[in-house]
Amino acid sequence: MNKKVLIIYTGGTIGMAVDPDTNALVPFDFEKISRKVPELKKFDFGINSISFNPIVDSSEMSPEIWGKLVKIIEENYSSYDGFVVLHGTDTMAYTASALSFMLHNLQKPVILTGSQLPLGAIRTDGKENLLTALEIAAAHKNGQALVPEVCIYFQDKLFRGNRTTKYNAEHFRAFRSDNYPPLAEVGLHIKYNYPYIRYTTLNGTFSVSTRMDNNISLLKIFPGINEHVVRSVLDAPGIRGVVLETYGSGNAPTSQWFMKALRDAIDRGVVIINVTQCLAGDVEMWRYETGRHLLNMGVVSGYDITTEAALTKLMFLLGNSTSMDELKMNLNRSLKGEIKSVNS
């Protein structure tokens, strides 16, 4: 029986075409995608598509839209062997991270991709991104999907979704994964890096979680940051979690007012997770005295997690944990390969 892959178009540059009358970019009908990409007819597997209506600019992405997306995957899970999600690049890493936590016992590929130029443009990168993402989504061996993970494919690299960050707004190579190797590299052939691919061993059937608590914030430390700024974040009404972007391996100021602001928030039950501002490397709060102060007061280490994954993981755990102890335990564990294996 032939494999089948479902394309889910949420929005983004890849699905745009130039209107010949106005010269403006407008979304094209994905039911007629084979007219734009005739190479699709050469695949030996079936391809269907679903489009969001209305489509969503990626800068409008939200937990509610992630919930809609995972429900589409859930409703079609038994009918398809893989999924390709077409998405705007600006928040693609956030969506890929969120989906990795929201999809449970995933045994099929969910590949996010997009493009820097519209699919209808002469020099578009969208065609290769789409074709390769589809090929990876359909790839099986001995009845097992080769990459049963939420991933991002872009410009000859397949990355684990929750390890990925957009770093370039202009070049075709828009994404990078500095703390984890590519799951596949694409040239004349697709070379899969099997030791780095996550094959779940969990028992149970596929399921989804749609509860995400977005009562969180991001606090980026910078030289000269003042108490009013810090307090405005930590003391915001209803705040339950904060991702603290610190220097280097997890260092922050040791000013008395700063430490008190953090301690006051933690005493109120606010969860604070420490991530590094650096693109590569990880948090090691035990290494320097400034980091040890944070560790001793109860700030949770994010290890080598990306900011995108930290934010979405915190949303997921706040929405699905039964206790603060469970939440903090899971922050320190690798749930979906988002951090190096610490206590996992």
Active site residues: 13
Distances (CA, A) of 243 to 2, 144, 218: 45, 37, 5
- Under a CB-based contact definition with an 8 Å cutoff, are residues 102 and 208 in contact? yes
C-alpha 81/C-alpha 111 separation (Å) is 12
C-alpha 103/C-alpha 86 separation (Å) is 17
Output phi, psi for 112, to 5 deg. Answer: -90, 140
Q: Are strands 157-160 and 150-154 parallel, antiparallel or unpaired?
A: antiparallel
Q: Please provide the DSSP assignment of 276-331 as one string.
A: ESSSSS---TTSSHHHHHHHHHTPEE-TT--HHHHHHHHHHHHHH-SSHHHHHHHH
**H or E element: which one contains 93?**
helix 92-102
Helix axes 92-102, 307-320, angle to 10 degrees: 40
- Which residues have C-beta within 8 Å of that of residue 195, sequence separation ≥ 6? none
CA angle 27, 28, 30 (to 5 degrees): 120
- Which residues have C-beta within 8 Å of that of residue 118, sequence separation ≥ 6? 13, 14, 15, 16, 17, 18, 25, 124, 126
CA angle 23, 28, 29 (to 5 degrees): 155
